[in-house]
């Protein structure tokens, strides 16, 4: 007996040979009245390569083609789903960038209301709304920062009207 040089204390298992398989199958199969399995009984229990059913090559090709087409459809579906998620993510990133990139300065000077009788208040309100159109949310919320910005656009006479 050969020495077991493996660190594993369990003995190695040997592969079963075909003869051992057939002997084990023959012993477990139903035996005839004499107690010995007949050749026909052994043939039924033992799969032989000669007993395989003939395979239709066209049917096999059809199965392969169907498998490949279903696999391709699944892959295309996954790719489509991934691309849709990527487009959605890019749109969200673009919207976040656009919201973060408010213009720092407007060109030209903001409209100034001096409070004289010749000044048109409605025209000043309209032109101020147009000038600060990028700050529509701040205008709607009437935040104190935005009010301070607008008051700075009033002339000295109109600034004295502020009752703060």
Greater model confidence, 70 or 36: 70
Q: Is 75 helix (H, G, I), strand (E, B) or coil?
A: helix
Q: How far apart are CA 43 and CA 11, in angstroms?
A: 34
Cα dihedral sign, 21-24-30-36: positive
Percent of the chain with pLDDT over 90: 23
Give residue-wise pLDDT tens across range 45-67.
555 555 566 789 999 999 999 99
Q: How far apart are CA 4 and CA 18, in angstroms?
A: 25
Inform me whether the pLDDT recorded for 40 exceeds 80. no
User: Using an 8 Å Cβ cutoff, are 29 and 42 in contact?
Assistant: yes
- Phi, psi angle pair for 109, to nearest 5°: -95, 145
Give residue-wise pLDDT tens across range 99-124.
777 665 556 677 777 777 777 878 88
Which H or E run contains 90?
helix 57-100
On whether the pTM is more than 0.75, the answer is: no
């Amino acid at each position: 007996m050969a020495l077991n040089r493996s660190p594993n204390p369990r003995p190695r298992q040997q592969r079963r040979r075909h003869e051992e398989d057939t002997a084990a199958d023959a012993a477990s199969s139903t035996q005839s009245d004499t107690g010995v399995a007949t050749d026909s009984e052994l043939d039924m229990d033992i799969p032989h390569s000669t007993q395989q059913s003939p395979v239709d090559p066209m049917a096999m090709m059809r199965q392969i083609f169907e498998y490949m087409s279903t696999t391709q459809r699944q892959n295309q579906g996954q790719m489509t789903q991934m691309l849709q998620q990527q487009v959605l993510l890019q749109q969200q990133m673009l919207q976040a960038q656009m919201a973060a990139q408010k213009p720092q300065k407007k060109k030209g000077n903001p409209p100034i209301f001096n409070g004289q009788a010749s000044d048109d208040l409605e025209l000043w309100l309209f032109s101020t709304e147009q000038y600060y159109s990028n700050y529509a949310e701040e205008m709607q919320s009437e935040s104190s920062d935005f009010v301070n910005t607008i008051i700075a656009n009033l002339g000295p006479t109109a600034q004295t009207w502020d009752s703060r």
